[in-house]
Amino acid sequence: MVALALHKRPFDLLVVVFLLVHIPVTLFVDSQAVLPREWYPEPAVNLLDGYVKSLNDPLMKYTPPWFKSLAWLETVFQLPFFVAGSYAYALGRPWIKTPAIIYGISTATTVVPCLAEVAAAALPLNNRLTLMAIYTPYLLIPALMAARMLISEEAFPQRQRQFPKKRN
């Protein structure tokens, strides 16, 4: 069996876009929480500085130790998954099922304290709501990825092969 084309699998398309977008976000923004800022090009540093200045994100502004541990996990373990996962979801490779479950459950779990920290922050309501809107997809999409892989018999919908009819 061959997986349906990606454009006929809207959730898989969403996952591919999500994972591909997450690659530069991890490389140029999130990893600044744990790696020396001198390693980053000036536009990446300016992007993070502008983000923190405009929304006052307490996680990226103060980088508490527990958040740094999550940034390390993202940089070291999740980044390779973003590459492999985008490839596997795009082409409908079933070997991604177990890694997607692991990624989805662990990521959704780690985003919960981030959302709690933002919700409890001493920020204007508008900033908190904006930050929660930024962080929420990183809870929902991985959780849905894991749920789908746990529930489905096959990792990806299959296209039926077309065989010519037999002549009698």
Q: Is the pTM of this model over 0.75?
A: yes
| pLDDT given at position 161 | 57
Residue of 61, 45, 44 lying closest to 53 (CA atoms)? 61
Average pLDDT per block of 10 residues along the chain, 168 residues long: 82 96 97 96 97 95 96 97 97 94 96 96 95 97 96 77 61
Residue of 39, 116, 103, 115 lying closest to 74 (CA atoms)? 103
